[in-house]
Amino acid sequence: MRLDIVTLFPAIFDGYLTQSLLDKAIQRELVQIHRHNLRDWAQDAPHRKVDDRPFGGGPGMLIQVEPTVTCVDSVEAMDPKPARRIMLTPQGKRFDQRMAEDFATSERLVMLCGRYEGFDQRVVDILQPEEVSVGDFVLNGGEVAAMVIVDAVVRLLPGVLGDENSSIDDSFSRGNRLLEFPQYTRPREFRDHAVPDVLLSGDHKAIAEWRDRQSLDRTQKRRSDLLRPDNENN
């Protein structure tokens, strides 16, 4: 998979892309991640300005349509693979595991990170990106939101996780779309808190049944919305 991230602050991703699973996935060429500084497409070369005041007045600045559309055109031309365009915005469709699974089947994503008051509306009208939000709150910029999406998507790519099954059982995931069951590791007991006997029994059928019950119980208590028939997760 190829990921292109259009941003005014490419360095924000530095630490994130060079650590742990992401670093390994890049080193093993399971994913290619390219960052593009939108200022490289600024129309006024010396100042590299890509934002301006909103028509009609109001606070803040908007990212201009011209550098953004020319940037996306040239970024997409860098590789013949068809790209799915994603704009990070609090006004978009809420990102979830199902969307992560869907994105993970794409060959290429081009992600647009906003700043200031966001993009001129014509960026949306012309590029028609999928508008995606990571939650009902407002971040300073789309970079952290893009990292959330990259993180959730890359771990689903074949070969990234040591055990492919670990992402199937995860909360919200393909296994049952419920919250995951509780898990324990050594020691068997700590401050009077013991590991449930069934997990030490070696009885795989009993363990699987216990986990299914725990998963359902936990979901009922914490996220009953996931069990409603009208929920997209069902």
CB nearer ligand SAM, residue 150 or residue 178: 150
Q: Catalytic site residue 196?
A: no
10 binds ligand SAM (CB under 6 A): no
Binding residues: 114, 134-139
Q: How many CA atoms lie within 13 A of 225 on its CB side?
A: 3
> Any contact of residue 139 with ligand SAM (CB under 6 A)?
yes
Secondary structure of the chain as H, E, C letters = CEEEEEECCHHHHHHHHCCHHHHHHHHCCCCEEEEEEHHHHCCCCCCCCCEECCCCCCCCCEECHHHHHHHHHHHHCCCCCCCEEEEEEEEEEECCHHHHHHHCCCCEEEEECCCCCCECHHHHHHHCCEEEECCCCCCCCHHHHHHHHHHHHHCCCCCCCCCCHHHHHCCCCCCCCCCCCCCCCCCCEECCEECCHHHHCCCHHHHHHHHHHHHHHHHHHHCHHHHCCCCCCC
By the rule CB under 6 A, 145 interacts with ligand SAM: yes
Instruction: Out of 35, 36, 85, 115, point to the residue binding ligand SAM (CB under 6 A).
Output: 115
User: Binding segment for ligand SAM among 5-13, 19-27, 32-40, 138-146 (CB under 6 A)?
Assistant: 138-146
Q: How many residues bind ligand SAM (CB under 6 A)?
A: 19
Catalytic residue of the set 4, 35, 67, 90: 90
76 binds ligand SAM, rule: CB under 6 A: no
Pick 116 or 207: Cβ nearer ligand SAM: 116
Name which position in 44, 77, 137, 221 contacts ligand SAM (CB under 6 A). Answer: 137
Catalytic residue among 66, 76, 102, 117: 117
Instruction: Please state the closest distance from residue 71 (CB atom) to ligand SAM, in A.
Output: 15
Residue with smallest beta-carbon separation from ligand SAM: 114
Point out which residues bind ligand SAM (CB under 6 A): 88-91, 113-115, 117-118, 133-135, 137-142, 145
